[in-house]
Amino acid sequence: MSVLSNSTSSDSHLVPSSEPSDEALLTLAEKRESSGGPGDEYEQAREELLRYRLHERHRDFIDYSGLKVFCGTWNVNNQFSEAEDLTKWLQCADSAPDIYALGFQELDMSTRNYLSTYCSERQTRWCELCRKAFANSKDYKVLKTVKLFSTLLMVAVKKDLISEVRNLKCGAQATGLMGFMANKGGTAVRFQLHDTLLTFVNCHLAAGEEKLERRYEDYKDILVKLKLFKTQPGDGYSTGQQQGESGEFEFLASDSEHHAMFWFGDLNFRLVRIERDEVERLVNHGKFDRLLEFHDELNLLRQLKKKPEPQWSRYADMFEGFQEEKINFKPSYKFEVGGNQYAVEKSRIPSWCDRVLFHSASVPCKVIKYDCFLSNQMSDHKPVACVLQVDIAKVNQERRQRVYREVIRLIDQLENAILPQCVLDPGHEISFGQVAFFETYETGVSLRNTGRVPVRWHFNGSDAFGGDTCPAFMRLTPTTSRIDVDSQQSIKLSLSLKDRHIAEAMRRWAEEQPNPVFRPEDILVVVLTGGKHFFLIPQADLVPTCFGLPLAVACRLARPVSRLEPDDLRAAIRLAYRRGSAAVAGEYPDKYDDDVESVSASFGQLPGFLTEPQPLPREVVRLIRHIRRHHLTTQDLLTDVTNTEEILRSAELLTSTDLMDELPLESIAGKSYLQTLFVYLECLPDSLLPEPGSPLAANLLCLVLDLAQ
């Protein structure tokens, strides 16, 4: 739905009130000039070191004060009553909270409310009803309300804290029908209190006992599209730049200092793998732990690292890093409206749908109370509250200025430490060994940080920097990252020769180049931000194959490639490329009569090759013969399902078995033979593909069309 907006902006609390001394700046400038410093790269390295040292000493200038935060959630089932008593819910703490964050779902399901961007009358009345139920209600001011159809988030703060609130941002993300209807989704408010970021997220995830995948997608949409965490984490400290000037709802990273997030709402997690009668029996006996450990979806997801379940593995990062207080109350859903009995519908298993989770990096949070309230009976859900003691960071400006200047002086003394230092293991040459067609090979290197500051690196030309990092048949993982001090980053390199890349490799192999799979320019460059470059030289030897051969060679094979002498195969490939179009049998005979005869004679002198070419490569004929035996239909031709393992087996058979032998009919599916045929044709060298109208092109076309019929 909406892009989150920025209400106010201010400099980070770590910006000094005065600049470092002229002497310190002059010293840095002189060193930069005398050493021929790299300009922007120098400044980036200096900034990294400054953040690191400030992080080490943040407790020297930050004080913490405890505030009480109330997070509440209630799905009100499209109901409202002025007579509803909310005091037990909103005044459950032993003292008045400093912050109220209330999330409602299904607050007003009317069509008129859906079409309006403003709070409806019912939503406004709900907010007023809540405000009146606050402990000492006159002491609070509503900071922000955010609406997404029937999902509403209201945040109220004590009036004596309002002056300390900065950088207020808010927004909403719909995740309902087709990914944009607002019947499901999330609303969020974020602000800075003193020098701590507080984030409140209220959501209504997809309902249903078998809709975990949809709930996961809703969660990811809210998390990513509202930018609840930065995509590239930093330390959480700024040394001069303003934060959030773009106006986007952008948060510090999950490992940042002084950021606490509270995520609550109707998360719709259900109890699974258990019958309703057994649930009610355990609930009545207060055995919540067993239900939560073995049957609650959210807790099962959290246990995936210890107890992997393949069918749920893709959900392992759902609410990763979030905490929840131990539950000691009955499931909050589904009740009979007007009472405290669970609904009689056997299809509705009582579940803890309404939850409060929190995520804090280095902001101490202690849960005081976590409960649901049976006294409110207007909905089929019960309201849930979580009261937390949160330590809010506040910077002492005088001490901050002193620490800042001390750090600047330290950087002057540690000038050499600014430059990143890394070691590449095992070295610059990366060997894949013997490489065969269509197989996947993996190897790796390790980049170890041996310096005194964190290092950022990337492959030259990586996506984030606008270019190709490596040859198209290779994959690198990752292409960029941050390496902490005394840590290392493992980099995986994978290779798979397919398509016309095999033709290029076969040509270089025939020319006896020492590294036939790679071109001389296929060097990988690792760039340290603000530092030097590392050059990785990938190397691989090629196992000859019938794939990627020039047609002039393929049509004259009398033996499988694996039974040819390497020198004979190399000579044939070189001959085909040297003669060009004349080497393609029978093309333009009037113009190339002499050359064709010369080529045929040359091939005839090579063991394992025919003097006169066949109309088609025997590999093509063998594949088509076996495809016909499987009686494939036109629909089979159009079905794009690739069985890589069977294509590998087919390719191996074509390369190693006698050209007159029948291929196995039962062990490999006909569709795999068909896909192998397409792969074979796709691997033909561009320069040797038959011209339109040539006899060879006509033969290929007729046979493939005949197969399709």
**Per-position DSSP letters for 63-83, written without gaps between them:** EEEEEEEEEEEEE-TT---TT
Residues in the chain: 709
Q: How confident is the model at residue 249 (pLDDT cuts 50, 70, 90)?
A: very low
For residue 107, the surrounding DSSP H or E stretch is: none
pLDDT for position 634: 52
550 touches 577 (CB < 8 A) = yes
CB within 8 A of 44, min separation 6: which ones? 529, 530
Q: Left (φ > 0), alpha (ψ -120 to 50) or beta: where does 222 sit?
A: alpha
Q: How confident is the model at residue 612 (pLDDT cuts 50, 70, 90)?
A: confident
Least confidently predicted of 210-219, 380-389, 558-567, 680-689: 680-689
Residue 553 has pLDDT above 70, yes or no: yes
Mean pLDDT computed over 240-265: 52
In angstroms, rounded to a whole number, what is the distance separating the alpha carbons of residues 705 and 709? 6
Residue type, 173: Q
pLDDT for position 667: 54
pLDDT for position 636: 59
Give the count of alpha carbons within 13 A of 363, CB side only.
Answer: 35
Q: How confident is the model at residue 347 (pLDDT cuts 50, 70, 90)?
A: confident
Q: What is the CA radius of gyration of the chain?
A: 34
Residue 709 has pLDDT above 80, yes or no: no
Highest mean pLDDT, choosing among 208-222, 622-636, 670-684: 208-222
- What per-residue string of b and e applies to 218-231 under the rule 16 or more CB within 10 Å gives b? bbebbbebbbbbee
Helix 618-629 / helix 670-682 crossing angle, nearest 10 deg:
150
387 touches 368 (CB < 8 A) = yes
421 touches 447 (CB < 8 A) = no
Which is more confident, 97 or 39? 97
Mean pLDDT computed over 157-171: 93
Residue 245 has pLDDT above 80, yes or no: no
Q: Left (φ > 0), alpha (ψ -120 to 50) or beta: where does 577 sit?
A: alpha
Q: Which CATH superfamily is domain 62-230+249-395 in?
A: Endonuclease/exonuclease/phosphatase (3.60.10.10)
The tens digit of pLDDT for each residue in 630-652 reads 666 555 555 555 566 767 777 77
pLDDT for position 664: 58
In angstroms, rounded to a whole number, what is the distance separating the alpha carbons of residues 297 and 351? 10
Q: How confident is the model at residue 600 (pLDDT cuts 50, 70, 90)?
A: low
* CATH fold group of domain 422-542: Immunoglobulin-like (2.60.40)
Q: Left (φ > 0), alpha (ψ -120 to 50) or beta: where does 631 sit?
A: left
- Taking every pair of C-alpha atoms in the chain, what is the biggest distance, in angstroms? 105
pLDDT for position 376: 96
In angstroms, rounded to a whole number, what is the distance separating the alpha carbons of residues 439 and 672? 16
Between strands 140-148 and 151-158, the pairing is antiparallel
pLDDT for position 418: 60
**Edge-to-edge order in the sheet of strand 440-449:** 422-425, 440-449, 488-496, 474-477
Identify the CA nearest to 445 among candidates 423, 461, 471: 423
Per the DSSP assignment, residues forming a β-bridge with 169 are: 6, 190
pLDDT for position 10: 31
Mean pLDDT computed over 322-345: 94
pLDDT for position 255: 35
In Å, what is the CA distance from 689 to each residue of 187, 500, 692? 58, 12, 9
Least confidently predicted of 288-302, 479-493, 667-681: 667-681
In angstroms, rounded to a whole number, what is the distance separating the alpha carbons of residues 321 and 69? 20
pLDDT for position 3: 34
pLDDT for position 654: 73
pLDDT for position 617: 84
557 touches 617 (CB < 8 A) = yes
Q: How confident is the model at residue 13 (pLDDT cuts 50, 70, 90)?
A: very low
pLDDT for position 218: 94
176 touches 185 (CB < 8 A) = yes
- Over pLDDT 90: what percentage of the chain? 37
Scan for tokens 């590999």, then name that residue: 619
Helix (H, G, I), strand (E, B) or coil at 138: helix
Mean pLDDT computed over 676-688: 73
Per the DSSP assignment, residues forming a β-bridge with 463 are: none
- Over pLDDT 70: what percentage of the chain? 75
pLDDT for position 117: 72
19: phi then psi, degrees, rounded to nearest 5: -75, 160
Scan for tokens 């922007």, then name that residue: 40
How many CB atoms are closer than 10 A to CB 140?
21
Between strands 62-75 and 99-105, the pairing is parallel
pLDDT for position 106: 94
In angstroms, rounded to a whole number, what is the distance separating the alpha carbons of residues 587 and 569? 23
Residue 400 has pLDDT above 60, yes or no: yes
Residue 238 has pLDDT above 80, yes or no: no
DSSP 431: E
Every domain of the chain and the residues it spans = 22-60+398-418, 62-230+249-395, 422-542, 549-614, 615-708
In angstroms, rounded to a whole number, what is the distance separating the alpha carbons of residues 397 and 377? 50
Within its chain, how far is the Cα of 510 from the centroid? 42
Residue 270 has pLDDT above 70, yes or no: yes
Between strands 440-449 and 99-105, the pairing is unpaired
Q: Left (φ > 0), alpha (ψ -120 to 50) or beta: where does 708 sit?
A: alpha
pLDDT for position 387: 97
Residue 468 has pLDDT above 60, yes or no: yes
Q: Left (φ > 0), alpha (ψ -120 to 50) or beta: where does 227 sit?
A: left
Helix (H, G, I), strand (E, B) or coil at 505: helix
In Å, what is the CA distance from 461 to each residue of 85, 123, 182, 476, 630? 62, 52, 40, 12, 47
Q: DSSP letters of 585-630?
A: TTSSHHHHHHHHHHHHHHHHTSTTB-SSPPSS-HHHHHHHHHHHHT
301 touches 309 (CB < 8 A) = no
> Mean of the per-residue pLDDT values for the chain?
79
Identify the CA nearest to 149 among candidates 122, 168, 130: 122
701: phi then psi, degrees, rounded to nearest 5: -65, -45
Q: Helix, strand, coil % (nearest 5) of the chain?
A: 35, 25, 40
In angstroms, rounded to a whole number, what is the distance separating the alpha carbons of residues 106 and 91? 23
